[in-house]
Amino acid sequence: MKFFVDSADVDAIREIAGNGLIDGVTTNPSFVACSGRPIKELIAEICSVVDGPVSAEVAATSTEEMVREGRILGSVAPNVAVKVPLTWEGLKACNVLTTEGFMVNVTLCFSANQALMAAKAGATFVSPFVGRLDDLNIDGLDLIAEIRAIFDNYDALETEILCASVRTPNHVKQVALIGADIVTLPPEVLPTLVSHPLTDKGLAAFLADWEKGGQTIEE
The C-alpha atoms of residue 208 and residue 197 are separated, in whole angstroms, by 17
Q: Which is nearest to 47 in space by CA: 90, 16, 69, 77?
A: 77
First to last CA, the chain: 39
Task: Determine contact, residues 193/169, Cβ cutoff 8 Å.
Answer: yes
The β-bridge relationship of strands 54-57 and 103-109 is unpaired
Helix axes 10-17, 39-49, angle to 10 degrees: 10
Q: Which sequence positions are flagged as catalytic?
A: 83
The C-alpha atoms of residue 63 and residue 124 are separated, in whole angstroms, by 18
User: Which residue type does 99 have?
Assistant: T
- Counting other chains too, the contacts that 88-91 makes at CB distance below 8 Å and 24 or more residues apart are 89/61, 89/62, 89/63, 90/63, 90/66, 91/117, 91/118, 91/121
